[in-house]
Structure 1
Amino acid sequence: MYLINPAEHTRRAFLRRAGHLAMAGTAMPFAINLAAMGEAAAQGAPGDDYKALVCIFLFGGNDYANTLVAYDDASYARYSSIRGAIALPSDAALALTELKPTTPLAGGRKYALNPKMSGLATLFDQGRMAVQLNVGPLIKPLTRAQFNSGNRRDFPIPPKLFSHNDQQSVWQSSSPEGSTIGWGGNIGDLALSQNATGSLFTCISVSGNTVFLSGDEAQQYQVGTGGAVRIASVSSASGSVYGSTAVKAAMQQIAQQARGHTLENEYNKVTKRATDAEGKITGAIQMNDLAGFPNTNLADQLKMVARLIRGRTALGVKRQVFFVSMGGFDLHDDIDTKQGPLMERLSGAMAAFQAQMDAWSLSENVTAFTASDFGRTLSSNGNGSDHGWGSHHFVMGGAVKGKALYGTPPPVSVGNSSADEDQWHVGQGRLLPTTSVDQYAATLARWFGVPDADLNAILPNLRNFGLTAPSGIAYPRDIGFMK
């Protein structure tokens, strides 16, 4: 029986069931799993027993075909013919970003990054970046014929495909818009025992509120590119209120003292926790002294992540999950002029962040990865592309088995014929994923230290993978791109 309602298998449900078993005396203590996570995560961590995952979310649905260009002669000819005016020219600039993996792809398939992504191309050549091909939300392995059958009982599909808000949520939480628990937050739940003195700083977003970092116990802490968000009237960083230190002292007392009324008392507890956390973050991130980052918003977000990682000891953390993002990828129009600058900003910010981790000898400890609502159509709508499904993504860090492309290269096709190759499209070159988000996430989570026994609870559809489907496509639980 296949899982169609992921909400029934959230971490909360897992903990609730474990609690019921414990009352009956049959549950393994949850702390054993937490300890196992610590032991697994510590293996291979050089010197500093610290690990961090950094999710870089590309809002709007990044166009896969002009991010990773099919570059062998036969594939490029089809790509250029299908895309028409929005195809990238096969010129000297594209040749400079051709990816040359250690193990060549089957069938002579070649790829090149968008010419604006020279920073990531260099990291690929250095073995610090890998590409995951055609990844997207799946409930179970699926072919085009099964998708087209309309039989959703036997061949379920992710809810509300091609919808921005819903697919952003499905990528981050396995459920559509309205979901309250994300797989990053679920990983954070397991990491809390490793961060005994800094549990509030386990899951940190530099990009506002996100379901990705929402756990059952882990609370996402939000910061801006300038640091912690302050409550000005009570923050220790501001010396006075209305020019008076006495008013400031009075405000602090009013806002933080214990109260007899339950709601007032809880409100003041939250205020005190917020001001204490702000002070701790401000002290941990130190001065804004990091050089080499481009002057872009994404680079500023990643710079803040770097400063927080530098302050990990002051924050009392050994395991952290971060979220940053950039928007502008919903390119129904002007993809030929707008996507290149977006790719340049993404590549430049990621390369600068990796350079900083290298400089601090933390490359093996920090892994960054991209995600997005969905890919887009291979066919052009004139001068843009429309909403799709599967896409290509990047994984970066010293613990990545880089200079490699993982997964199954999709045929360059719009998927409108009965040819065998077209089974991996659902029309207009919308890729039918051959790797699920659950597999992608599980591979990252295992590196982070999550025990295999806990992966099904964190990633509700993972139980449907770990096999070779009748189509011949392998769907391993661990894709293998991490050391």
Structure 2
Amino acid sequence: MRRRTLLKLLGAGAVAHPLMAGTAVRGRRKGGGALKKMVVIFLRGGNDALNTLVPVDAGQFGMYTSMRPTLAFTQPQLANITGSSFFAANPALQPIVNIANAGNLAFVHSVSYPGYDRSHFESESYYETSVPGNGLLDGWLNRYLQNTSGPGLVRGIAVGWNQPQSVLGPIPIPISTNFGNIAVADDTGAPGPLTTLLQDTYGLAPTPGNDSIYTTGTQIFDMIAGFANRDLGEYENLASLVHIENGAVYPNTSLGDRMMHVAQMMKDDAEFIGVELATLDHGGFDTHSQQISGGGPTDPAGQHFRILNDLAQSMAAFYTDMGPTRMNDICLMVVSEFGRQVEQNDSSGTDHGVGGMAIVMSNNISTPVSGNSWPGLSNILHGDSLNWNVDFRDIYWEVLSRHMGLDNTTLSTIIPGHTYTPVNFMV
């Protein structure tokens, strides 16, 4: 059946690019198996790594509590990580600590890069281009698509209201904000939500009974016309993907909603949309003041506790929703542009620092805590920040190599000018 229902998985915000660019010829399959997929969550603002992954070694913990008289946790408050006697996690992260304790999530500490920068703008740009200080404009996720091929109609998507630099480049990567809104007119002639939205926005009248919208000259209308002229009957099977599976419960938050819809897209197989990567933001981590609430660091109303718990609940729901079989082919990575200073400031917050951390969720994790040797709180950088010993590009490289199955030649194009040092959080 032609032009009956347009995909209900992309959102109304997918107007930044035409989706019909370039059909790929083969999937990115490691070892010829299932299509490998990747989700990247960027914690905007600079996550406080020291209050996310806390050193509980006796000497380190004493320094930690003296540096943070009101922000510090007590040891009984922390979430224990199986196999790690040196670190414990912020209790807000208990939902994903459970995944780590089952062997499917790694916390990577002491993360930064040479020539580190404490500017949000600069450091975010370096993380998103994978080239610190170089000034490249295209993003590393776009370069991934440029240098690989896949069977999907839409191989990558950015979920949210803004276009992150990581997706910029010659390969069109749409932005999606509101899943379920893209639908063109059905056989009754009733316009779909996106058609109505565009009509309201541009003052245009849709053609009754016709999915195509003509004479606009904009990319979004070209995109819809392109979809409408395809035989979309096979996509009707995708309606079943809106169902949350395995009893997963997403938090009633913006991040929870976006993660739920990323899960829908990741459930799609290669014959339909073929999304291989999704990226989304989680904000609020620039905690210069009032990082905790009146009840202390475990108060759910505290800023840092609240947004970390939102992250953990959303990730855990995604993991449950996808199920173990799908998770064999999916890796979720969490990064932030820098960490915070080791000492709390006078406003019950923390200022921009250096050493940060990353989180990787996958079914081929080798250890729950990784990151080479801990630099220590007696070896702080510039007298105020955690030092670092893991280059964030090594995390990207390891995921792209060991999970996505890319060779070193391809990786050198995606992450140019970098010599990989194994972190070994993945097998």
TM-score, L = length of structure 2: 0.78
Partner of 1:222: 175
Structure 1 residues 481, 78: closer, same or farther in 2, change over 3 A? same
Q: Which amino acid aligns with 2:338?
A: F
Corresponding position: 1:98 with 2:80:
yes
Kindly provide the CA deviation profile for residues 38-64 of structure 1, in whole angstroms up to 9, marking residues without a partner as x.
Answer: 4xx33284xxx1111100111111101
Q: Which amino acid aligns with 1:437?
A: F
Please identify which structure carries the higher helix content: 1
Corresponding position: 1:479 with 2:423:
yes
C-alpha separation between the residues in 2 aligned to 1:164 and 1:89?
30
Structure 1 residues 358, 271: closer, same or farther in 2, change over 3 A? closer
C-alpha separation between the residues in 1 aligned to 2:353 and 2:177?
31
C-alpha separation between the residues in 1 aligned to 2:211 and 2:183?
17
Q: Given the alignment, which residue of 405, 410, 426 partners 2:375?
A: 410
Corresponding position: 1:186 with 2:143:
yes
Kindly provide the CA deviation profile for residues 324-370 of structure 1, in whole angstroms up to 9, marking residues without a partner as x.
Answer: 221111100111221111111111111111112225x1111000010
Structure 1 residues 250, 289: closer, same or farther in 2, change over 3 A? closer
Partner of 2:282: 326
Structure 1 residues 71, 238: closer, same or farther in 2, change over 3 A? closer
C-alpha separation between the residues in 1 aligned to 2:218 and 2:176?
25
Q: Which amino acid aligns with 2:99?
A: L
Q: Which amino acid aligns with 1:93?
A: Q
C-alpha separation between the residues in 2 aligned to 1:99 and 1:175?
32
How is 1:375-394 mapped onto 2 (pairs within 5 angstroms)?
375-382=339-346, 383-394=348-359
Q: Given the alignment, which residue of 63, 69, 75 partners 2:60?
A: 75
Shift of residue 403 of structure 1? 2.8
Q: Which runs of 5+ in 2 are unaligned?
A: 1-24, 293-301
C-alpha separation between the residues in 1 aligned to 2:133 and 2:226?
32
C-alpha separation between the residues in 2 aligned to 1:396 and 1:266?
36
Contact 1:136 1:171 survives alignment (8 Å): no
Partner of 2:31: 43
C-alpha separation between the residues in 2 aligned to 1:340 and 1:298?
15
Contact 1:407 1:434 survives alignment (8 Å): yes
Q: Given the alignment, which residue of 418, 432, 435 partners 2:390?
A: 435
The SS at the match of 1:323 is: strand
C-alpha separation between the residues in 1 aligned to 2:71 and 2:53?
14
Structure 1 residues 252, 69: closer, same or farther in 2, change over 3 A? same
C-alpha separation between the residues in 1 aligned to 2:180 and 2:259?
12
Kindly provide the CA deviation profile for residues 294-350 of structure 1, in whole angstroms up to 9, marking residues without a partner as x.
Answer: 212112111111101122345342x61110221111100111221111111111111
Shift of residue 281 of structure 1? 8.0
Shift of residue 224 of structure 1? 2.1
Contact 2:181 2:193 survives alignment (8 Å): no
Partner of 1:305: 262
Q: Which amino acid aligns with 1:366?
A: I
Partner of 1:203: 156
Partner of 1:26: none
Partner of 2:167: 213
Q: Which amino acid aligns with 2:41?
A: I
Contact 1:306 1:353 survives alignment (8 Å): yes
Shift of residue 404 of structure 1? 3.7
The SS at the match of 1:348 is: helix
Partner of 1:374: 338
Partner of 2:295: none
C-alpha separation between the residues in 2 aligned to 1:305 and 1:123?
19
Shift of residue 407 of structure 1? 2.4
Contact 1:118 1:347 survives alignment (8 Å): yes
Identity %: 21
Contact 1:205 1:322 survives alignment (8 Å): yes
The SS at the match of 2:387 is: coil
C-alpha separation between the residues in 1 aligned to 2:164 and 2:218?
28
Shift of residue 219 of structure 1? 1.5
Q: Given the alignment, which residue of 288, 303, 307 partners 1:338?
A: 303
C-alpha separation between the residues in 2 aligned to 1:79 and 1:203?
41
Partner of 2:399: 444
Q: Which amino acid aligns with 1:387?
A: H
Q: Which amino acid aligns with 2:362?
A: G
C-alpha separation between the residues in 2 aligned to 1:398 and 1:271?
37
Corresponding position: 1:395 with 2:366:
no
C-alpha separation between the residues in 2 aligned to 1:113 and 1:458?
32
Structure 1 residues 126, 225: closer, same or farther in 2, change over 3 A? farther
Q: Which amino acid aligns with 1:340?
A: F
Contact 1:129 1:394 survives alignment (8 Å): yes
Partner of 1:4: none
Kindly provide the CA deviation profile for residues 83-136 of structure 1, in whole angstroms up to 9, marking residues without a partner as x.
Answer: 12211223x331xx12232xx5xxxx6111001111111111100001111112
C-alpha separation between the residues in 1 aligned to 2:253 and 2:219?
39
The SS at the match of 2:147 is: helix
Partner of 1:418: none
The SS at the match of 1:362 is: helix
C-alpha separation between the residues in 2 aligned to 1:286 and 1:249?
29
Contact 2:43 2:283 survives alignment (8 Å): yes
Contact 2:212 2:229 survives alignment (8 Å): no
C-alpha separation between the residues in 1 aligned to 2:127 and 2:194?
44
Shift of residue 455 of structure 1? 1.5
C-alpha separation between the residues in 2 aligned to 1:239 and 1:435?
44
Corresponding position: 1:53 with 2:17:
no
Worse overlay, 222-231 or 297-306 = 222-231
TM-score, L = length of structure 1: 0.70
Q: Which amino acid aligns with 2:139?
A: G
Q: Given the alignment, which residue of 162, 172, 190 partners 2:118?
A: 162
C-alpha separation between the residues in 2 aligned to 1:240 and 1:78?
59
Shift of residue 402 of structure 1? 3.8
C-alpha separation between the residues in 2 aligned to 1:282 and 1:431?
52
Kindly provide the CA deviation profile for residues 218-263 of structure 1, in whole angstroms up to 9, marking residues without a partner as x.
Answer: 221222243455799x9962598699xx953169698436xxxxx9
C-alpha separation between the residues in 1 aligned to 2:173 and 2:60?
44
Corresponding position: 1:66 with 2:47:
no
